[in-house]
Structure 1
Amino acid sequence: MIADFVAQFAKLIASNPDDIRVEVKEGDEVTEIVLYANQADIGKLIGKSGKMIGAIKTVISGCKAKDGLSYRINVEPLL
């Protein structure tokens, strides 16, 4: 569910929405969400002063309050 939200949000921002990939790595204490994007879109996804990725993190923190899990999000270039 959260991975789907992150993917849809990123596709709205990215110039190359077909290149967006989301991978979820579940750990014991933290679930890591890795957002893979075209190199040209990474700056857009992070945003000026990190505002765009901060907005995504804010929404995810609401999910943390609901289900009690901790999430971490990383933006990586598509290889």
Structure 2
Amino acid sequence: MIVNFIENYAKLIVSKPDDVTVCEEKIDDTFTEVTIYADSADIGKLIGKNGNMINALKVMANGCKAKDGVSYKIQVLAND
């Protein structure tokens, strides 16, 4: 659920939405790592000024923690 939201949200923000991919790695039953891969020119847009965009995504993920009990770590990386 949260991974689909993050992917759709990220594609709306960036200039090259076709380059955005989101990967989910479950570390254990209570922790999941979500990685957003995007074009290197779009990394700044995803992070935002003073980290506001990525912090908004983290707040949304923490809201989902209350529902499903899973903590989320969100990273933004450039495509190689």
TM-score, normalisation: structure 2? 0.95
Deviation at 1:61, TM superposition (A): 0.6
**1:68 corresponding residue in structure 2:** 69
**2:78 corresponding residue in structure 1:** 77
Q: Deviations over 1:4-31 (max 9, x none)?
A: 1000000010000000000000012420
RMSD across aligned positions (CA): 0.7
Moved over 3 A (4+): none
Question: Within 5 A, what are the aligned runs for 1:1-79?
Answer: 1-28=1-28, 29-79=30-80
How many correspondences in the alignment?
Answer: 79
Percent identity of paired positions between Structure 1 and Structure 2 = 53
TM-score, normalisation: structure 1? 0.96
**What runs of 5+ residues in structure 2 fail to find an aligned partner?**
none
